[in-house]
Amino acid sequence: MLSIPVAFISGLIFGFGLLLSRMIDPVKVQNFFDLTGNWDANLAFVAIGAIAVAALGFRLGGRPRKAERFPVPARASIDPPLVGGAVLFGIGLGMTGYFPGSAVASLLLGRSETGIFVLAMIGGMAFYRLLKSGAS
Amino acid sequence: MISAVFYHMTDVIDFNPDFLAKSCGMANLTAFPDLAGGALIGVAVLILWLFAGRIAYVGGILGGLCEQFRGDMAWRLFFVAGLLLSPLVYRLLAPTRFELAVPSSPVLLVAAGFLVGFGASLADGEGGGRAWPSLRGLGLRAFVATIFVMVAAAVTVYFFRHLVRG
């Protein structure tokens, strides 16, 4: 059960990254997308930092240490659900500036607005699964 | 009318997590906390991939928790627990005020939350949070998704900030 402490530590460090880079600030996130207005390009540095570290690690580290049988991925190509989902996600992101991760990481800071967003987000995820189970 | 419903009111409060930048004597370099924060996110992604074989995509990890009868709930719960507790632990390590300017229109929050949750699940397919045999294909999907997310977010911000409000 190595995956449990690993997952906890990963979640914790992920949160530290969001906090330190201020990605948990919805207005900062919106400013990144506000190209014609109050543009704040600093969020690009977050992406550069994350991609640099992850890419280097993937290259050096290779495959996971854990000898586990992995399920074969069902989809590995570009398809309409990927594009449609990304567009809906982007519209929601632009409306409030919350990512799923940043909303969860700021939930215990006690703003009711964050709680409303997180509940609605879980509702959206549950609704997708309801549709999927109804369709199959 | 629309602008009344969707009016994006924010109350801006002091927010200063730059203790690390200051303690390193780099307070003037605003890119520092962003780069360092990004690097931490990269480290978190790597840890989860190398030691648990999972992709640290929060939308997918949360989405998996919305499914019944799954065998891989525990690590998801612990990842989310770590994420939830991160500001409290961060504050223990360094006294910081995390008070933010947050959008406060309930209609906007509910609509945005629903779109983000539904969109994340729809785009995710079987990818996020699942165990993957390799990263092949995932990089391209993530790249394409990121482009569409950014364009849609930029158009939406333009709409609400410059058309509806302005």
For chain B, give every domain's residue range: 2-7+14-164
Q: Is A48 on the interface with B (CB under 8 A)?
A: yes
Residue-wise pLDDT tens digits, B77-99 = 999 999 999 999 999 988 877 77
Residue-wise pLDDT tens digits, B42-72 = 999 999 988 888 888 898 899 888 886 566 7
Least confident of A108-117, B2-11, B109-118: B2-11
Q: How many CB pairs under 8 A join A and B?
A: 460
Q: How far apart are CA A64 and CA B102, in angstroms?
A: 38
Using a CB-CB cut-off of 8 Å, the residues of chain A touching B161 are: 30, 34, 37
Q: How far is the CA of B7 from the CAs of A35, B116, B152, B159, B162, in angstroms?
A: 20, 19, 19, 12, 12
Average pLDDT in the B133-150 region?
A: 79
Extract the tokens encoding B19: 């203790």
Q: Which residue matches tokens 């640290």?
A: B56
Residues in chain A, pLDDT under 70: 1, 62-63, 65-76, 136
Residue type, A38: N
The pLDDT value recorded for residue B41 is 96
Q: How far apart are CA B145 and CA B161, in angstroms?
A: 24
Residue-wise pLDDT tens digits, A29-61 = 999 999 988 888 888 999 999 999 988 888 887
Band (B159; pLDDT cuts 50, 70, 90): very high
The pLDDT value recorded for residue B130 is 54
Name the closest residue on chain A to residue B101, using Cα atoms: A27
In percent, the amount of chain B with pLDDT more than 70 equals 70
Name the closest residue on chain B to residue A53, using Cα atoms: B42
The pLDDT value recorded for residue B13 is 34
Taking 90 as the threshold, does the pLDDT of residue B101 lie above it? no
A62 by Cβ neighbours in 10 Å (0-12 / 13-18 / 19+) ranks as exposed
The pLDDT value recorded for residue B20 is 46
A72 CB-near residues (< 8 Å, 6+ apart)? B133
The pLDDT value recorded for residue B95 is 82
Residue-wise pLDDT tens digits, B15-44 = 444 444 444 444 445 678 899 999 999 999
**Main-chain dihedrals φ then ψ at residue B103, nearest 5 degrees:** -65, 140
Band (B14; pLDDT cuts 50, 70, 90): very low
- Which residue from B33, B51, B89 is facing A22, i.e. has the nearest CB? B33
Contact call for B116 and A99, based on CB within 8 A: yes
Q: What is the ipTM of this complex?
A: 0.91
Interface with chain B: mutation pick from A1, A2, A9, A19, highest number of B CBs within 10 Å:
A19
Taking 90 as the threshold, does the pLDDT of residue B8 lie above it? no
B114 CB-near residues (< 8 Å, 6+ apart)? A92, A120, A121, A123, A124, A127
Taking 70 as the threshold, does the pLDDT of residue B166 lie above it? no
B2 by Cβ neighbours in 10 Å (0-12 / 13-18 / 19+) ranks as exposed
Contact call for A121 and B114, based on CB within 8 A: yes
Name the closest residue on chain B to residue A128, using Cα atoms: B118
